[in-house]
Amino acid sequence: MNNYSIAIHGGAGTILPSTMTAEKETAYKKGLEDAILAGEEILKAGGTSLDAVESAIRILEDNPLFNAGKGAVFTNSGTHELDSSIMNGKDLMAGAVAGVSNIKNPISLARAVMEQSEHVMLTGKGAMDFAKKVNAAIEPDDYFFVQMRYDQLQQAKESNTMILDHTEDKIENGEKKFGTVGCVALDVHGNLAGGTSTGGMTNKKFGRVGDSSIIGAGTYANNKTCAISCTGHGELFMRSVVAFDISCLMEYKGLSLKEACDLVVMDKLVKIGGEGGLIALDAKGNIELSFNSEGMYRASKKQNEALYIGIYK
């Protein structure tokens, strides 16, 4: 039996102590703690990393503080289009959904795509038909209405910008909008898994899809190397194929998890202006929580070690 490990993130960006209230900080920390402890329960009981990843992400999706599930940002047309993906490091099976609406827990639908279809990614109306077929929980539009997110859309429309959850641009009163969520886990059987879920960017148009639902960009897991979940400026993370790049640096160049994360997050991404971060876990249970932004909502827990929760640099 191996020792288990788990890490989660709730988005990275311009998160500064100066713009945070004590109540907000407590609420975010509690949200992270609830999610990681739920995942840990599963690992502690000998459950799979895949189950731990799904259950931790479901809790973050149900929490309106995070930009995923309930709390997802608005598109330009006032709807919600959710992206999510999950991958099993044991057999390299993967599932993803992109641009889906009204799905309560996109991570579970991504898992259903992996386990109950012969495909890896489903989008739009077809994904909805599949969701009905597998009895995924569906919620009315109202469920996804969160005032803070609506105000954010009005602001973005006024300035005619698409606001990434991570940028300070056009955001007043120090109010920063963060949220994409993710989890990576290693179970006692030695299997890695990773998953990511998001509402993407406020005011996004034209069916824009980010890295969160792209296997190899926002999510990747391979027992040979690592499990990764990213958060940041999706376009740059896609162009850099971030999650797979870290795995490749480990597999082909023999870099350690830390060396690979440092190179990709602190050097390669920075050079092309890719703001954000990621959580990473290797097959030995080493954890990296790397980000090149001001902060990243994050938490990690190794078997027999204390829970770590961090927000700022």
- Three-state secondary structure along the chain? CCCCEEEEEEEEECCCHHHCCHHHHHHHHHHHHHHHHHHHHHHHCCCCHHHHHHHHHHHHHHCCCCCCCCCCCCECCCCCCEEEEEEECCCCEEEEEEEECCECCHHHHHHHHHHHCCCCEEEHHHHHHHHHHCCCCECCHHHHCCHHHHHHHHHHHHCCCCECCCCCCCCCCCCCCCCCEEEEEECCCCCEEEEEEECCCECECCCCCCHHHCECCCEEECCCCEEEEEEECHHHHHHCCHHHHHHHHHHHHCCCHHHHHHHHHHHHHHHCCCCEEEEEEECCCCEEEEECCCEEEEEEEECCCCCEEEEEC
**Near ligand ASP by CB under 6 A: residue from 106, 210, 274, 295:** 210
**Near ligand ASP by CB under 6 A: residue from 40, 51, 54, 211:** 211
Is 21 exposed, middle or buried (CB count within 10 Å of its CB: 0-12, 13-18, 19+)? exposed
CB of 208 to ligand ASP, least distance (A): 8
| Site for ligand ASP, residues 64 to 93, rule: CB under 6 A | 67
Nearest CB to ligand ASP, comparing residues 49 and 67: 67
Nearest CB to ligand ASP, comparing residues 47 and 64: 64
Where does this chain touch ligand ASP (CB under 6 A) — which range of 101-109, 112-120, 204-212, 293-301? 204-212
Active-site position among 75, 180, 198, 219: 180
Nearest CB to ligand ASP, comparing residues 67 and 222: 67
Contact (CB, 8 A) for 167 and 13: yes
Per the DSSP assignment, residues forming a β-bridge with 7 are 184, 300
Q: Verify binding: residue 201, ligand ASP, rule CB under 6 A.
A: yes
CB of 182 to ligand ASP, least distance (A): 8
Q: How many residues at the interface with ligand ASP, by CB under 6 A?
A: 15
**Near ligand ASP by CB under 6 A: residue from 49, 55, 167, 212:** 212
Q: Verify binding: residue 181, ligand ASP, rule CB under 6 A.
A: no
85 φ, ψ to 5°?
-150, 155
Q: Verify binding: residue 198, ligand ASP, rule CB under 6 A.
A: yes
Nearest CB to ligand ASP, comparing residues 11 and 216: 11
Nearest CB to ligand ASP, comparing residues 40 and 165: 165
Nearest CB to ligand ASP, comparing residues 201 and 255: 201
User: Would residue 180 show up in a list of annotated catalytic residues for this protein?
Assistant: yes
| Site for ligand ASP, residues 214 to 233, rule: CB under 6 A | 231-232
| Site for ligand ASP, residues 136 to 165, rule: CB under 6 A | 165
Residues with catalytic roles: 180
Give the footprint of ligand ASP on this chain (CB under 6 A).
Answer: 11, 67, 165-166, 179-180, 198, 200-201, 210-212, 231-232, 234
